[in-house]
Structure 1
Amino acid sequence: MRKKMMTLTIAGAMVLSASPFMSPAVGAVGNGPAYGGNETINTSILTTYDEMADFLQTQEAKQKNMELEVIGQSIKGRDLYLVKYVINPENPTILFLTQQHGNEQLTTEGALEFIKHLGTGKMKGVTDGVNILIVPMLNPDGAMGDVNFSLDDYIAKGDRNLTRYNADGIDLNRDHITKIQPETKAFHENVMRKYDIDYMIDLHHQGTQSERDGELVSGSILYPTTPNVDPDVLLKSKQLGAVVFDAIDSKGWGHLGKYRGGNAETISRNGIAVEYGISTLLFEMRGMSDHSYESYVLGQKSNGYLIQQTITTLDATVRAIADDSIEDADISFWDTLSYQENRTSE
């Protein structure tokens, strides 16, 4: 394994502390510039698929409570991994899903760092009260730019391009009803239908120019909005969002808005809530690693706080589920949380 994988390629993103993770510099939101034509977007600092696979196998060998499962293969034949911490099947279970879109990688970087910390003393006892499932890269072909269409118009000029779509140009997050693509088919057959899951957070990235109350956001969240969702599932989804909001928005670098999302059940946030009765939350982090639209790509000075935002989200939610404090989460903030809006150019 290359040395950069041992640091998870996040280049100064964080240092461990007793909190359990040290926060990045206050005021980070907006400080990392969006791509403006003058900054090199260097994807070589991001974890490759092979590095991720090596890392997961190494962690499985080190961590007694971790089990690694291959749930299927991508179009190009890459194994799709599921990381499992299941000590007591009767415990509530949360699933974290990252990189349905291959160009949204910082959530995967944060998930890998979180996996490493689940094997340390700082997380001791947490997995006694909650089962954790993590799909750290559902779209490895898109993440590696190994696709059957041109990426010449993508912004990054580094080690590789990363694309939203899978190898055949399909958006996996619009395939949760038909489940035609091998990645979504494997996900539903070997994760959703196999495990008794109570909560799911679907981690994504959005554009760089969204703001709430006049300030650029570090991300946005949303519960299932389909009218077919069960009321209790919706309540618990909102409680999950409350835990995340309280953990992130209280940070100097965190500022969350309410995402403007559709009601279609082809989207995982909606379809999974209805089909499986699972409480779901969408979390859209600010900025993408690569895209054909310049306004979607975020400069790398923001990588640290966005990775930290992922770690904080995973840490806060598993702890709240493990100690049942999620049941007391105050969801009233949803009534006043402003929808994010696109910042207009001045």
Structure 2
Amino acid sequence: MRLTFASLLLGASLLPLGATAAQPNGPWINEQQQVSLEGFMSNAQLYDQLAGLARRSGGSLTLEQAGSSGEGRPIWLARLGQTGNPAVMIITQQHGNEPHGTEAALDLMRKLAAGGAFSRQVLDHLQVIFIPRVNPDGTARASRGNMDFSAPQTSATCLRDDGSVDPQRLDQGLGANVTAYTAENGERRWSYDINRYHWPDWSQSPQILCNPGLADQRHFDPGLNPVPEAVAVRNAYDKYQPMWLVDVHNQNPAVVLDEADPEANRPGRQVTGSIVWPTNAAVAPAAVALSKQMALVMKKRSMQLGNMEITNYYYERPDGSIRRGGGDPGIARNAYALLASERLASGAEGPLGGNILMEITGLNSRGQKSKGMLRNNVREMLEALLVATADGSLLTQDPAETDRLLPPGQEVDEPLDNPHEE
């Protein structure tokens, strides 16, 4: 029997009275309201929460410092489960102004550390690794970048469309993927976008290939990735060799396309989150398949809840063109799938290489008013993925189903209007 979207929502009608207040089209920011980050954890609050969890867990949750940020703040890693179990990994807040994933990760850690039925169901079979805030410096200033303002200020490259090097464009100091920060005085400064610096082989990045004469500078040293936050994630990945990795972000406003299959999404509704898998052509087919199986588990859980609209992160722009998820090898979802692909090619046994980028609707359209709902959306999908991985049902998913269940959303230029206002 083929389930319809409506039938999957029957369970939502059994929620306690009041649960219906958390629905995709509300609550909304009004014109007189300022978006506030005060409801999200500061670095000090996160560190206190992690330390308290570890102290109260009776040893089930352990902390280690994966690295330090450019300004010297600790990047903490939390681990739950036996070291002999297969590892999975969840990272959040590579971009400092995208806080919902960190809140969800803490909720999930609390539940795993509590020792109940869900904890046993997962931790009897898996080792779960969290890096709940990759970018503490950006978080301190609500900035996307890592606040290293020595970063080169352009993203130009010497590479031709076919990937070959144009010798006429060498040593221009180009190739950095950076993001702008506007100071209180209006000055625009540039720092590294951490999620562009997970290159499996940093020496093969355009930044290095395009600047052979600048190797004496930190930004262009083939042996030194200049982004310590990305290095911390890479070192943790190499240490624990996880079966899969999920990277949680926030996204811009989007709506479900009118022509979407109504059994998968409700046309015209606001997208609450998006999912995409590795999009670099060199990623092993087995790694892509595992990633799509992960996406399906998450999507199907969202359909059971009824207060979520989860689409593919391949967006249709307002002009009708499609913004496809980039194939850049430095993006986390590609980089770690490529590393796993190398292991698979060397004879390692799978499943390996699963990687998902999860984008949850961000502050500019929902703000702090939907913090709890959006945080729970992330947690629910991650919980479902952990259970499916632990019990093996993850591997029973048909990757081809992603074409129907995860259509692209449609990007919108501005936050959506409140449909409840006259």
Give the superposition deviation at 1:25: 2.6
Match of 2:184 among 152, 155, 158: 152
> Structure 1 pair 170/323, CA: closer, same or farther in 2 (3 Å)?
same
Aligned residues: 306
> Structure 1 pair 169/37, CA: closer, same or farther in 2 (3 Å)?
farther
Provide, for residues 36-86 of structure 1, a one-character-per-residue CA deviation record: whole Å limited to 9, x for no partner.
542121211111111110110111111121110101110111000111113
Match of 1:324 among 392, 411, 417: 392
Whether 2:272 is the aligned partner of 1:218: answer: yes
CA-atom RMSD in angstroms: 2.6
Q: Could you say which residue in structure 2 is the equivalent of 1:262?
A: 326
> Gaps (5+ residues) in structure 1?
1-18, 155-166, 289-295
Percentage of matched positions with identical amino acids: 27
In structure 2, give the amino acid aligned to 1:219.
Answer: G
Q: Could you say which residue in structure 2 is the equivalent of 1:42?
A: 36
Match of 1:77 among 69, 72, 75: 72
CA distance in 2, matches of 1:285, 1:24: 20
Secondary structure class of the residue paired with 1:340: strand
CA distance in 2, matches of 1:271, 1:210: 29
Q: Could you say which residue in structure 1 is the equivalent of 2:408?
A: 339
Whether 2:226 is the aligned partner of 1:180: answer: yes
CA distance in 1, matches of 2:90, 2:244: 9
Match of 2:239 among 180, 189, 194: 194
Match of 1:96 among 90, 106, 124: 90
> Gaps (5+ residues) in structure 2?
1-13, 150-180, 203-224, 258-266, 315-324, 342-352, 418-422
> Structure 1 pair 45/218, CA: closer, same or farther in 2 (3 Å)?
same
Give the superposition deviation at 1:314: 1.9
1:271-310 maps to which residues of 2 (within 5 A)?
271-277=335-341, 278-288=353-363, 296-310=364-378
Q: Give 1 or 2 for the bigger CA radius of gyration.
A: 2
Secondary structure class of the residue paired with 2:240: coil
Q: Is the 8 A contact 2:80 2:112 kept in 1?
A: no
Secondary structure class of the residue paired with 1:245: helix
Higher relative contact order (CA 8 A, sep 6+): 1
Secondary structure class of the residue paired with 1:72: strand
TM-score relative to the length of structure 1: 0.82
> Structure 1 pair 170/316, CA: closer, same or farther in 2 (3 Å)?
same
Match of 1:170 among 192, 195, 209: 192
> Structure 1 pair 67/344, CA: closer, same or farther in 2 (3 Å)?
closer
> Structure 1 pair 105/238, CA: closer, same or farther in 2 (3 Å)?
same
Secondary structure class of the residue paired with 2:38: helix
Match of 2:282 among 220, 225, 228: 228
In structure 2, give the amino acid aligned to 1:108.
Answer: T
In structure 2, give the amino acid aligned to 1:96.
Answer: I
Q: Is the 8 A contact 2:251 2:362 kept in 1?
A: yes
Secondary structure class of the residue paired with 1:43: coil
